[in-house]
Amino acid sequence: MILINAVLATMTGDEALIPDGAVIIAGDRIRWVGPRADLPAAEGERIDLGGRLVTPGLVDCHTHLVHAGDRAREFEMRLEGASYEEVARAGGGIVSTVRATRAASQSELEEGALSRLDRMLAEGVTTVEVKSGYGLTVADELKMLRAARALAHRRPVGVVTSLLAAHAVPPEYAGRADAYVDDVCLPALAAARAEGLADAVDGFCEGIAFSPEQIGRVFDAARALGLPVKLHAEQLSNLGGAGLAARYGALSADHLEYLDEEGAAAMARAGTVAVILPGAFYTLRETQVPPIDLLRRHGVPMAVATDCNPGTAPMTSLTLAMNMACTFFRLTPEESLAGVTRHAAAALGLDDRGRIAPGLRADLAVWDARHPAELSYRIGATPLHARIFGGRLDA
């Protein structure tokens, strides 16, 4: 397949657009990319894109896509004035999604996730990360990961999984978080590793969740099994989660509203990507903005994701997350596009996607747009024209 007459945002680092570009795709890979004037002789179907913008397929690098139930009632409670922590302490919050997720079969979880996934694909997403974390027993965490893996067989999309057993302390372990880590988190890790169900290990380091010490024990076990780590850090308070993640060479530290300079410097040294999640910031009506200038100053790559989850980000629109990242956090549209392509791939430890370059996967999004800023600029409208996954056009 040969794409011609395209505006190419290759995201390879020089950030310059190729105004009249062409891409040669062979099998599931990009073979050549450059100005149309330099297009080498090649056999194949030529597709004239009429001057449309082409970007790498979008990568949503932080989602809780697999879950059951919804939290609309909790939304109402928070509008009546209850805080996220108050709702959690009253037995709502994450634990209410845990009840629904435990009661659901794997196939029910898949069906629920597919309807959300389809909305993402309609916005040009070609790779999605999916976390467990609403099962909180070994069996239910594995059930969630199996449902996540199954999505890749049901839709043309790359799925990357993270085991998030250390997401919340379930009611049966109330006040016994350490015992929960021993009885569930560590065995779930070993079982997920043995079945090849987890690509990474995640945790929630927060007053309402797990302490840095407890997360450290989970990360030690992940390291012993050769699994990379990432962490929900500094979302509601500063417990030094980013520094902890960096000490373990984490792929990413996510949320980061309360990140401090020491944490940012540690992330820079470790090459840990900052994943910012403006949908959760918005839903919680948070006022503490993540320190974007600090991240820039330290050269920490920034990714942007939906955090799609039933509590703090009932959101499937990655382009809306891009818009919010610009409006709330003052990212530039260029930064926000890098945040859902190149840096999002890095947050997942993937170097075969997220850019348009020879040898990489042919995962692309074609937009009814002429300039990348349009993707961040529009609110609630996604001008996707076509999606190409592994060299196959599907829209």
Q: Considering the rule CB under 6 A, would residue 93 count as an interface residue with ligand DI6?
A: yes
Q: Which is nearer to ligand DI6, 8 or 188 (CB)?
A: 188
Give me the residue whose beta carbon is nearest to Fe ion.
307
Judge whether 126 and 322 are in contact, CB under 8 Å. Answer: no
Query: Minimum distance between the CB of residue 119 and ligand DI6, rounded to whole angstroms?
Result: 18
- At 165, the amino acid letter reads A
Nearer of residues 93 and 124 to ligand DI6, judged by Cβ: 93
CA 227 to chain centre: 18
Q: Choosing among Fe ion, ligand DI6, none, which partner's interface includes residue 63 (Cβ < 5 to 8 Å by kind)?
A: none
Interaction residues for ligand DI6, span 263-282 (CB under 6 A) = 280
The residue with tokens 């990140």 is 259
312 binds ligand DI6 (CB under 6 A): yes
Contact between 116 and ligand DI6 per CB under 6 A: no
Q: How many CA atoms lie within 13 A of 340 on its CB side?
A: 38
- By CB under 6 A, what part of segment 204-263 binds ligand DI6? 204, 232, 235
Pairing between β-strand 252-255 and β-strand 230-233 as defined by DSSP bridges: parallel
Q: Which amino acid is present at 125? A: V
CA distance 53 to 33: 14
Q: How far is the CB of 292 from ligand DI6 (least distance, A)?
A: 19
Angle, CA of 194, 198 and 199, to the nearest 5°: 120
Minimum separation from the CB atom of position 1 to ligand DI6 (A) = 39
Separation CA 332–CA 377 (nearest Å): 10
69 vs 390, which CB is nearer to ligand DI6? 69
Q: What's the min distance (Å) between Cβ of 307 and ligand DI6?
A: 6
The partner in contact with residue 235, picked from Fe ion, ligand DI6, none with C-beta cut-offs of 5 to 8 angstroms by kind, is ligand DI6
Contact status, residue 277 vs residue 232, Cβ threshold 8 Å: no
Residue 193 or residue 255: which is nearer to ligand DI6 going by CB? 255
For residues 10 and 132, which CB has a smaller minimum distance to ligand DI6 in the complex? 132
The answer to whether 135 and 141 are in contact (CB under 8 A) is: yes
- Under rule CB under 6 A, residue 127 binds ligand DI6: no
Q: How many CB atoms lie within 10 A of CB 226?
A: 7
Beta strand residue intervals within the chain, DSSP E: 2-8, 18-26, 29-35, 46-56, 58-60, 125-131, 158-166, 200-203, 230-233, 252-255, 273-276, 302-304, 364-367, 384-389, 392-393
x/- letters, 140..179, toward ligand DI6 (CB under 6 A): ---------------------------x------------
Please identify, among the stretches 116-124, 295-303, 304-312, 354-362, the one whose residues bind ligand DI6 according to the rule CB under 6 A: 304-312
316 binds ligand DI6 (CB under 6 A): no
CB of 21 to Fe ion, least distance (A): 36
Question: Which of 307/335 has CB closer to Fe ion?
Answer: 307
Closest distance of CB 262 from ligand DI6, Å? 22
Inter-axis angle of helices 138-154 and 106-121, to 10 degrees?
Answer: 40
Write out the residues near Fe ion by the rule CB under 5 A. 307
234/257 Cα distance (integer angstroms): 6
CA angle 309, 251, 199 (to 5 degrees): 70
In the list Fe ion, ligand DI6, none, the entry touching 219 (Cβ below 5 to 8 angstroms by class) is none
- Residue 16 phi/psi, 5-degree rounding, is -75, 140
Contacting residues toward ligand DI6, per CB under 6 A: 93-94, 97, 167, 204, 232, 235, 280, 307, 309-312
